[in-house]
Amino acid sequence: MKKVILLFIFSLSVQLNAQSSAHEEQIKTLYHKALTSGKAYDWLDHLSNKIGGRLSGSLNAERAVTWGKTELETLGLDRVYLQKVMVPKWVRGTFEYASIITGPGMSMNVPVCALGGSIATPSSGLRAGVVEVKSFEELEALGEEKIKGNFVFFNRPMPAELINTFEAYSKTVNQRTQGAARAARFGAVGVIVRSMNLRLDDFPHTGSMRYGDLPNTMRIPAAAISTNGAQLLSSMLALNDDLKFYLKLDCKNFPDVPSHNVIGEIKGSEFPDEIIVVGGHLDSWDLGDGSHDDGAGIVQSMEVLRLFKEMNYKPKRTIRVVLYMNEENGLRGGTAYAQYAKRNKEKHIFALESDAGGFSPRGFVFEATNSQFKQIDSWKPYFRPYMADRFELGGSGADIGPLRDNKVVLSGLRPDSQRYFNFHHAANDTFDAINKRELELGAAAMSSLVYLVDQYGF
Amino acid sequence: MKKVILLFIFSLSVQLNAQSSAHEEQIKTLYHKALTSGKAYDWLDHLSNKIGGRLSGSLNAERAVTWGKTELETLGLDRVYLQKVMVPKWVRGTFEYASIITGPGMSMNVPVCALGGSIATPSSGLRAGVVEVKSFEELEALGEEKIKGNFVFFNRPMPAELINTFEAYSKTVNQRTQGAARAARFGAVGVIVRSMNLRLDDFPHTGSMRYGDLPNTMRIPAAAISTNGAQLLSSMLALNDDLKFYLKLDCKNFPDVPSHNVIGEIKGSEFPDEIIVVGGHLDSWDLGDGSHDDGAGIVQSMEVLRLFKEMNYKPKRTIRVVLYMNEENGLRGGTAYAQYAKRNKEKHIFALESDAGGFSPRGFVFEATNSQFKQIDSWKPYFRPYMADRFELGGSGADIGPLRDNKVVLSGLRPDSQRYFNFHHAANDTFDAINKRELELGAAAMSSLVYLVDQYGF
């Protein structure tokens, strides 16, 4: 009996080793192909340089939809289709302009941009004093007496000591998202927000802001100022707190317009009803060409399916790529996708998102149960040779968030975060900021993870 | 008795925990200071932008020596001194020029640069046919019959599928270091070497080459061609293998000149005779300003001692920073340092080198015994929050290599390697290619490792 058990254990271990080395081979091939004959970089070149910035509701966003569908159709997938979604339409307008005025004939231009969703200033612009604050607590302590009739200047920098720059972002971004709504209640005429950027430079960084339930009549314009501009304004205020700030924005909100998620899929051979989704967001802000945010995630996600087709890999489960529309200022695509999935009673077992820049991948985060994570964690050795073996529990991604149901495993690619906020939502988020190998390594890591999920399910 | 033992174990574990959390605090402070009030980036700005490229034997190299000494003297170290070393002096000359000639009046310029150590062409340049090879085996198979009177064009690309780009470098760099000596034996008139660059672009990458024991009369000039230039030349040869290549170089070797290693140290309070060295190389190639190679390593190493002084940390052991001269084309500084150490019977317990670029640190490599590595590996948890916890056995660094004696532990900082060879030895290795946070994270990781070695010794 003992012999039989030993024999059984031995044959099981041989099987497991054979399986494991087959996986190693598949992953090696995925990396090899991604790095030597990948298509992600050429795709991104087109999306960034031939299409460019593609804010929801813009002509460019529609060009990106057409491009995504056309490219996916060349891959020989089992199905490529569009999913209609209504999206907000906000337009930056023809110009935006600001200056610090310290006396008659003494003014200095500073780089600003409207925050997404902001209303315009009057066409002659706004001229008012400036009250600098670092927090909402400080704002409230100053109250209407000090705030009324002035600009509020939110100048809390991203904390440099945090290693994960997304954490630093999360500690400061409420100035941008809620600053205007908060300051308006104290009678501010507008808000100027320090750009979410860890570096001192001249690029203002846009991003979404919301007025919430603030009545239309109380809404005030909101602009981001570059970090160098913020430093300058702050030091000028220290010398002369009576200075004036001039701001002109002619951005505008329009009614919602139709747009689309772009979807492609390879039907599963064994479990076609178990769906694995990989995606990024197709829309971007309008200042740069959205190469890191999130052109990178788009082309990496498309590359996962392309690599499977090139390798002639027949997945057991259905593998679907989704190019979500409108992550930046509405999340309408991600929300609609989850609604369609629910309505059609689709069973999603895994959703992976890449929306943290096209930098060297260091691993993944997962929203998973303990037993699911234990399984995932056992795959770590496959990723170690590729230096993408940092697996952690944590928030995955915005677009796949609406799928969350305590059963589906959600995951986000986690590239090195140090450079991301140099480019995020700014005019320098352009194709030249992308390193081909880093982009390709992300696509290979994602493909490898999707491959393993397809092999084992949850 | 049992109770006494339990009590002993308990008190030991309390002590160990207290010690471990004290280390965590120190490391946290090192990172905090490096990221919020570090000096590495400002130092590098000066070294790169005010001094610039600093090839051994050049005036700029001497300016860098003076700068390094002066800066170290401001830190309040116990000792700052120079160590004399004779270095080679090779000068690029006033211009270098190449073209592909496909017919009368039909020529195209291609970007080239002389390899360090190469002799010049005749002053009228060299014009000859081209034989393309991918390996020395291919060269030998062709033999004198095919090679004689022609240029040999070494065109083996760095393999893109390797994750560690230094490994890809090691598989191709012999074309650059030995190509001329090998080709000369078959009567080649010169060699053109594909730049060691994983990207297709227009920068030729220089680097050292050696003639070895080849007699002076047989020596031939050697140039690097940009990767785009190499692709072009190769495709032109495929169309017309009778094309001619024109090359003019006016570089020159001079007799050795004196230069210096720059050294600063904090004397150990408990074990002053146990020396811990941290360093990088002060010389660089002449095309760019050597920001990544190795300005980054220089300022990170200086920052280790500066951080200790700023924190008022009194090391148990002697901590020494060495700015080595002449890593690039001679290793004379590293060699001389080890000789001085041996002559003075100094006991080195640890040497750390940063010479792999100023990118996000991912960990360290170590040359250590199993028991030494076991101890080092137990420190990994301290580095995990900073994502610098990839510890491996492997070759450490060129400058500290001469210290190797099977007792001293040698280590190299290992930053992300994906972008390094875009810049390595080329005109675009400049300050703008440096990200401040990545540079600072490297300095913080190095400081943390040196701190732990100082605490525990080996």
Assess whether A84 and A163 both reside in one domain.
no
B87 Cβ contact partners less than 8 Å away, ≥ 6 residues apart: B56, B57, B61, B256, B257, B258, B259, B283, B325, B326, B330, B332, B333
Test B438 with A418 for CB contact under 8 angstroms.
Answer: yes
Assess whether B307 and B333 both reside in one domain.
yes
- Which of A250, A265, A288 finishes a domain? A250
Look at residue B9 in the predicted model and tell me its pLDDT: 65
Higher-confidence position of A167 and A7 = A167
CA distances from A164 to A168, A203, B275, B360, B438 (A): 7, 22, 34, 12, 12
Print the domain residue range for A204.
Answer: 93-250
Which of A29, A35, A161 to mutate to test binding with chain B, by most B CBs within 10 Å of its CB?
A: A161
Average the pLDDT over A18-39 and give the result.
96
Q: Judge whether B10 lies within some domain.
A: no
Q: Which residues of A touch B (CB under 8 A)?
A: 31-32, 35-36, 160-161, 163, 165, 198-199, 360, 362, 385-387, 390, 416, 418-419, 422, 435-438, 441
Residue B2, min C-alpha distance to chain A (Å): 38
Average the pLDDT over A39-68 and give the result.
98
Assess whether B98 and B86 both reside in one domain.
no
pTM of structure: 0.96
Is the interface score ipTM higher than 0.85?
A: yes
Which of A45, A163, A432 to mutate to test binding with chain B, by most B CBs within 10 Å of its CB?
A: A163
CATH classification at residue A411: 3.40.630.10
Look at residue B6 in the predicted model and tell me its pLDDT: 66
User: Terminal CA-to-CA distance of chain B, rounded, Å?
Assistant: 34
DSSP summary character for residue B437: H
Reduced DSSP (H G I as helix, E B as strand, rest coil) percent helix, strand, coil of chain B, to 5: 40, 25, 35
Test A416 with B419 for CB contact under 8 angstroms.
Answer: no
Assess whether A62 and A182 both reside in one domain.
no
Q: Calculate the dihedral angle through the C-alpha atoms of B81, B83, B88, B89, rounding to the nearest 10 degrees.
A: 30
Look at residue B10 in the predicted model and tell me its pLDDT: 66
Please give the share of chain A, as a percent, with pLDDT higher than 90: 94
Average the pLDDT over A36-43 and give the result.
98
pLDDT digits (tens, 9 = 90+) for A250-302: 999 999 999 999 999 999 999 999 999 999 999 999 999 999 999 999 999 99
Which of A416, A423, A431 to mutate to test binding with chain B, by most B CBs within 10 Å of its CB?
A: A416
Test B437 with A31 for CB contact under 8 angstroms.
Answer: no
Is there a contact between A288 and A429 (Cβ–Cβ < 8 Å)?
A: yes
pLDDT digits (tens, 9 = 90+) for A334-353: 999 999 999 999 999 999 99
Spatial strand order of the sheet with A271-281 comes to A79-91, A252-266, A317-324, A271-281, A347-353, A409-415, A361-367, A390-393
Q: Judge whether A15 lies within some domain.
A: no
**CA dist., res. B161 & res. B391, Å (int):** 22
The full 3-state SS of B42-92, as one line of letters, equals HHHHHHHHHHCCCCCCCHHHHHHHHHHHHHHHCCCCCEEEEEEEEEEEEEC
- Which of B216, B250, B284 finishes a domain? B250
**B336, containing H or E segment:** helix B332-343
**CA dist., res. A182 & res. B123, Å (int):** 74
Assess whether A409 and A347 both reside in one domain.
yes
Residue A272, min C-alpha distance to chain B (Å): 33
Average the pLDDT over A30-44 and give the result.
98
Look at residue B15 in the predicted model and tell me its pLDDT: 73
The total of structural domains in chain B comes to 2
Assess whether A279 and A338 both reside in one domain.
yes
Structure tokens at B198: 């994983």
Spatial strand order of the sheet with A106-109 comes to A106-109, A96-103, A244-249, A126-133, A151-154, A190-194, A222-225, A112-114
pLDDT digits (tens, 9 = 90+) for A126-155: 999 999 999 999 999 999 999 999 999 999
Assess whether B189 and B263 both reside in one domain.
no
Structure tokens at B169: 């470098």
Q: Which of A17-31, A213-227, B7-21 has the lowest mean pLDDT?
A: B7-21
Chain A residue with minimal CA distance to B417?
Answer: A360
Look at residue A12 in the predicted model and tell me its pLDDT: 65
Test B435 with A419 for CB contact under 8 angstroms.
Answer: yes
**CA dist., res. A288 & res. B158, Å (int):** 32
Best CA proximity match to B62, nearest among B43, B40, B89, B39: B89
**CA dist., res. B434 & res. B299, Å (int):** 12
Look at residue B432 in the predicted model and tell me its pLDDT: 97
pLDDT above 80: residue A397: yes
Q: Which of B265, B310, B327, B367 is catalytic?
A: B327
Is there a contact between A171 and A159 (Cβ–Cβ < 8 Å)?
A: yes
Assess whether A161 and A121 both reside in one domain.
yes
Q: Judge whether B7 lies within some domain.
A: no
The size of the A-B interface in CB pairs under 8 A is 57
CATH classification at residue B237: 3.50.30.30
Look at residue A2 in the predicted model and tell me its pLDDT: 65
pLDDT above 80: residue A321: yes
**CA dist., res. A449 & res. A454, Å (int):** 9
Q: Judge whether A405 lies within some domain.
A: yes
Q: Judge whether B209 lies within some domain.
A: yes
A327 is catalytic: yes
pLDDT above 90: residue A95: no
Q: Judge whether B289 lies within some domain.
A: yes
Q: State CA A319 to chain mean position distance.
A: 22
Assess whether A101 and A52 both reside in one domain.
no
Look at residue A7 in the predicted model and tell me its pLDDT: 66
Assess whether A321 and A392 both reside in one domain.
yes
Residue A35, min C-alpha distance to chain B (Å): 5
Assess whether B243 and B187 both reside in one domain.
yes
Confidence band for A8, pLDDT divided at 50, 70 and 90: low
Nearest to A387 among B362, B419, B436 (CB): B362
Residue B267, min C-alpha distance to chain A (Å): 29
Q: Judge whether B194 lies within some domain.
A: yes
Q: Judge whether A12 lies within some domain.
A: no
pLDDT tens, chain B, 458 aa long: 567 666 666 666 677 788 899 999 999 999 999 999 999 999 999 999 999 999 999 999 999 999 999 999 999 999 999 999 999 999 999 889 999 999 988 999 999 999 999 999 999 999 999 999 999 999 999 999 999 999 999 999 999 999 999 999 999 999 999 999 999 999 999 999 999 999 999 999 999 999 999 999 999 999 999 999 999 999 999 999 999 999 999 999 999 999 999 999 999 999 999 999 999 999 999 999 999 999 999 999 999 999 999 999 999 999 999 999 999 999 999 999 999 999 999 999 999 999 999 999 999 999 999 999 999 999 999 999 999 999 999 999 999 999 999 899 999 999 999 999 999 999 999 999 999 999 999 999 999 999 999 999 99
- Which of B228, B250, B272 finishes a domain? B250
Residue B419, min C-alpha distance to chain A (Å): 7
Look at residue B8 in the predicted model and tell me its pLDDT: 66
Best CA proximity match to B354, nearest among B440, B422, B242, B265: B440
Test A163 with B422 for CB contact under 8 angstroms.
Answer: no
Kindly list the residues from chain B whose CB atom is less than 8 angstroms away from the CB atom of residue A437. Answer: 160, 165, 198, 418-419
Q: Which of A71, A274, A303, A327 is catalytic?
A: A327
Best CA proximity match to B260, nearest among B43, B63, B53: B63
Look at residue B5 in the predicted model and tell me its pLDDT: 67
Q: Calculate the dihedral angle through the C-alpha atoms of A201, A202, A205, A210, rounding to the nearest 10 degrees.
A: 120
Assess whether B73 and B155 both reside in one domain.
no
Average the pLDDT over A413-417 and give the result.
98
